[in-house]
Amino acid sequence: MPVGPGTWPAWWTTNTPWPDMGEIDIIEGIGGNTWNTITLHTRDGCHMRDKDAIYFTGTWAKGDNGAVNATNCYINAPSNFYFEIMTIRESKKSRNWGKNLETLEESEN
């Protein structure tokens, strides 16, 4: 997976009309980040619940300038911060890319 300034490797699923029919970002690496960002984008009315965190090993990204978990899927929600709409950041133990992935692979051998 490419990593570094100016890269944006991603695997997204979308449908039309966007965003009403939703978008799921399955793999998304932004710039030099070494973690995967999983994101849902939808129309108004879609929310995840904080308690849904039991279903994944990462953490909720922070919305609203870092004050609350980004659990609102609405693309134009006022609490969205840097386009982090209902975002899960995979844990450092997950398979990511860049130096983080290389470090995981070396430590497992």
In angstroms and rounded to an integer, the radius of gyration of the C-alpha atoms of the chain is: 15
23: annotated active-site residue: yes
Catalytic residue among 23, 90, 105, 108: 23
The single residue of 28, 90, 102, 106 carrying the catalytic annotation is 28
Phi-psi group of 87: left, alpha or beta (phi > 0 → left; psi -120 to 50 → alpha; rest → beta):
beta
Query: Quick check: bond before 17 cis, omega within 30?
Result: yes
Residues with catalytic roles = 23, 28
